Structure 1
Amino acid sequence: MEIKQLTQQNRRHWVCTAIAEANADLGGEARQRKYSAMAESPYRFFRGTSHLFWADLYKDWRFTFYGGTAGTQTWIQGDAHVYNFGAFANHDGEVIYGLDDFDDAIVSDYQYDLWRLGVSLVLDARENGHHDEATIETALRRMAKRYLKVATAFDPERADEVVHFTADTAPAPLAGFLEEVGSRKTRAKMLGKWTREQRNGRRTFDFDKPKLKRLSPQQRKAFTAAFEAYRQTQQDPVADARDPGFFAVKDIARRVRAGTGSLGTPRYYVLIEGAGSDDHDDIILDVKRQDGPAACGAMSADERAIYHGVFAHEGQRHALGFHALAEHPDRYLGWLALDDGVYSVRERSPFKKDFPSDSLGGGKRFVKMAGIWGEVLATEHRRAGRALNADAPFTFERSLQDATDGDATGFKRLFTAISRHYADCVTSDYDRFLTTLA
């Protein structure tokens, strides 16, 4: 063997090996479907390879400039990107905008979310092709500016103030989007998309839909038994004495071909009886296996041991992160255990909708939306920080003030550099992926 073969530490080999290992548990067909989705663009590739982001940046020494302390840790989303924000309904029936995916939620430094969001903005903007690099740079600076301003602002007299983004409180262009979602999306439309009414009036899933598959009788029996135990895991149980049939399971389906990073992860939809008497009050619950945050793969053995000592299982971790980050956590939130793992349970919101970033053709609209994304992320990090530090609710805000120490310019400069440079790295990795695995 030649000396030059002593190390295989080159980027192409490492990236392709890491991707293959991360997807080794998927069957051949599911793995190829995921690879095909990742091959669509550098941004889709980025969404499908969060493990690379964590391996590259988890121990990046630059995070000590404006964080890297116990106080700058909070619950983070763990896979922040512009399409992991969306519209959904809160407890009061309002259509709000915020983080809508908590599969990778974990306690860590805030910068990992912020950096990943910045990288996604660059990749998404380049894919849409509406903006030059100077405009993207301006948008990144706006995102960092709004994040820092909101994340370091607090008023002890208003600690319990609820901050959320609705059509009435959000600025343009988000306000118009939320108004449209509220007027056009309904529970009846959602049910019409996924279910059908039989001649006897019973509603079931529509298995003519290619993304829904039937369960075998044995699978259905096992799932139904596990679902009964799920009711005990709800932190905020939903009950309605007026309707004894409320929560009765009407149908179960296996959900396939969903997501990018989670493509191939086992998932089910459960149709349950709603609380009212209306034909269109039924509820769809989204049941998804939780395999653990991508961040865990970058941790040391000691860190992983602490992690597994804190959480009983991934369903609990998902629920705790959801409750910490979300303004109004899903009232159906809980978990259930099947033979192949623990699954999270949450409602599929009738108002579920991603903001169409490809509609941001004007530079001013794009820059303004970048600021909104930064503000939303900061708001949810602050909320999560209070949940994490109940005895000292402003630990996160004070710590970030100390870490930045008035250096907003340096903060923005580091953020934009990391966002753009890592986006370039992702694009190069994407090209390597196309020529090796796709």
Structure 2
Amino acid sequence: MSLPLTRHHRPRQVMEAIHTANAHLDADDQRTKYAKISASPYAFFRGTNHLYWADVWHDWRFSLFGGQVDTQTWLQGDAHAYNFGAYGHHDDRVRYGMDDFDDALIGDYQYDLWRLSISLVLDAEENGVSRKTLRRGLKHLVLSYHKTLARYRAGESPGHVSVDTAKGPLKPFMQKVERKKSRAKMLDKWTVQEETGRRLQREGKLINLPAHLDSQLRKAINEEYRSTLKGELSDAGDAHFSVKDTARRIDAGTGSLGLERFYVLIEGGKDHEHDDVILDVKEQPGPAGLVLMSSAGKRAWKATFPHEGARHAAAFRAIAEHPDIYLGWLHLGDKVFSVRERSPYKEDFPTHKLDSGKAYRQLVKQWGAILAREHLRGAAALAPDDPGRFARAVGRQVDGQLDSVVEMVSTLSLSYARCVAQDHQTFVEAQAAAT
């Protein structure tokens, strides 16, 4: 058989992109990650965000209902169904929204809306949701997003989802999180009380750090991280940040699997029954979309954000409804790490337990509204002297055309989900052939 005239075809593109994106992982981490993304098309989608960005970065369809300077905002960057969840930090109040900004970047709003819609398809197919219910869900997701922007243009202030304001299936879910989770229970899970004091639990997903790395991390917490804090903790005393213990966090995440990650136990304040605080220290290599920027775009990005720790913090403070007061960064060697508190209330909504089309629609409507509110906040952070500019610009692009917007996003989502399923099968077959 003669060689193909071109080696440019989808299976080869997919495999080369995955191997390039994961070349930095050691053999064990790579095997673990590849096993995770082999599990299903949705798991594959979550673990290959770089494929999504490579596919949509120059997609002409973004010009139909956006594609303008003023339709850009801070993007979540990895919007999918399981990046929504319950969370809560220093005030011990349970909220619901997006709480992961590792891939956040500035771009057209549609990139987030498309990715979230695609994840809706993949999650629905994994859970056996009917095509009719799925299509209705996509419609309600898109309409909820744009109606939230329209209400903002009409003068309504964006709200947030709490135990008091949650609707449909979210309300009992959040009530359960509030009832079942607490700071004390989190500390019981991740720490042990010894005669010399509390330390991190060394079973399961936490392991010891080498002495030199433990020393470097403790030093970075006190000499760099504390200087990056803003707000009420910027003047906290040495006792508050006294480091009790450190450990390496392993086997966390899907797309982020293999990145360096540590837990640091500090003394914290005295306002809680258990005053200790766990800091989550996570390597930040940069958002998946960053590599697709032009050379000029990358230079402008670097001039704005000297490193990815600063970018992560800027995005978090811009997008999040309730930014973590422990948010900051530090360096270890040539790597930069975000620092934030580990939430005592972190919990994903179990979409596989939705038992009716009505409950499904109620949930996705809230996803659309949450994403819109995040984009409104992100855009306001970029243009503080004209915070309504983004909503007006999107409105000019979509007003009178919402049916066409729904049809375009639905068609794109369904077809791209099929592409993900094919790519997943390509990957699974390649893995089987390699063993």
The residue type equivalent to 1:187 in the other structure is R
The residue type equivalent to 2:212 in the other structure is Q
Aligned residue in 2 for 1:39: 38
1:95–1:226 distance in 2 versus 1, CA, 3 Å: same
Residue deviations 1:251-294 (CA, integer Å, cap 9, x gap): 00100100000001100001111211766221111000000000
In 2, the alpha carbon distance for the partners of 1:95 and 1:69 equals 36
Residue deviations 1:18-39 (CA, integer Å, cap 9, x gap): 0000000000110010000001
Residue 93 of structure 1: CA displacement?
3.4
Query: What does 1:280-295 align with in structure 2 at a 5 Å threshold?
Result: 280-295=274-289
Pick the aligned partner of 1:139 from 115, 131, 137.
137
Contact 1:90 1:96 in 2 (8 A): no
Query: What does 1:224-303 align with in structure 2 at a 5 Å threshold?
Result: 224-228=218-222, 229-238=224-233, 245-276=239-270, 280-303=274-297
Aligned residue in 1 for 2:150: 152
Query: What does 1:304-343 align with in structure 2 at a 5 Å threshold?
Result: 304-343=298-337
Contact 2:71 2:390 in 1 (8 A): yes
Query: What does 1:195-206 align with in structure 2 at a 5 Å threshold?
Result: 195-200=191-196, 202-206=197-201
2:9 aligned with 1:15:
no
Query: What does 1:170-209 align with in structure 2 at a 5 Å threshold?
Result: 170-200=166-196, 202-207=197-202, 209=203
Q: Tell me which moved more, 60-69 or 273-282.
A: 273-282
Residue 245 of structure 1: CA displacement?
2.4
Q: Tell me which moved more, 90-99 or 112-121.
A: 90-99
Residue 157 of structure 1: CA displacement?
6.0
SS at match of 2:231: coil
In 2, the alpha carbon distance for the partners of 1:301 and 1:69 equals 20
Contact 2:89 2:344 in 1 (8 A): no
Any stretches of 5+ residues in structure 1 without a counterpart? none
Residue 155 of structure 1: CA displacement?
5.3
The residue type equivalent to 2:40 in the other structure is S
2:74 aligned with 1:75:
yes
SS at match of 2:241: coil
In 2, the alpha carbon distance for the partners of 1:126 and 1:81 equals 14
Residue 151 of structure 1: CA displacement?
2.0
Aligned residue in 2 for 1:25: 24
Contact 2:103 2:288 in 1 (8 A): yes
Residue deviations 1:110-130 (CA, integer Å, cap 9, x gap): 10100000011111111112x
Residue 300 of structure 1: CA displacement?
2.4
Aligned residue in 2 for 1:404: 398
1:213–1:9 distance in 2 versus 1, CA, 3 Å: same
Query: What does 1:85-104 align with in structure 2 at a 5 Å threshold?
Result: 85-89=84-88, 92-104=91-103
In 1, the alpha carbon distance for the partners of 2:387 and 2:116 equals 25
Pick the aligned partner of 1:379 from 367, 373, 377.
373
Aligned residue in 1 for 2:348: 354
Residue 199 of structure 1: CA displacement?
2.6
The residue type equivalent to 2:83 in the other structure is N
Aligned residue in 2 for 1:436: 430
Q: Percent identity?
A: 46
Aligned residue in 2 for 1:125: 124
In 2, the alpha carbon distance for the partners of 1:342 and 1:414 equals 39
Aligned residue in 2 for 1:169: 165
Contact 2:227 2:234 in 1 (8 A): no
Pick the aligned partner of 2:360 from 360, 366, 376.
366
In 1, the alpha carbon distance for the partners of 2:350 and 2:126 equals 13
Contact 2:81 2:119 in 1 (8 A): yes
In 2, the alpha carbon distance for the partners of 1:419 and 1:294 equals 20
Any stretches of 5+ residues in structure 2 without a counterpart? none
In 2, the alpha carbon distance for the partners of 1:113 and 1:254 equals 31
Q: How many residue pairs end up in the alignment?
A: 431
TM-score by length of 2: 0.96
Residue 236 of structure 1: CA displacement?
2.0
In 1, the alpha carbon distance for the partners of 2:28 and 2:414 equals 34
Aligned residue in 2 for 1:210: 204
In 1, the alpha carbon distance for the partners of 2:207 and 2:238 equals 29
Residue deviations 1:302-353 (CA, integer Å, cap 9, x gap): 3222222221000000000000100111000000000141000000110111
In 1, the alpha carbon distance for the partners of 2:131 and 2:234 equals 52
SS at match of 1:320: helix
The residue type equivalent to 1:46 in the other structure is F
Contact 1:231 1:237 in 2 (8 A): no
In 2, the alpha carbon distance for the partners of 1:294 and 1:239 equals 31
TM-score by length of 1: 0.95
In 1, the alpha carbon distance for the partners of 2:235 and 2:115 equals 41
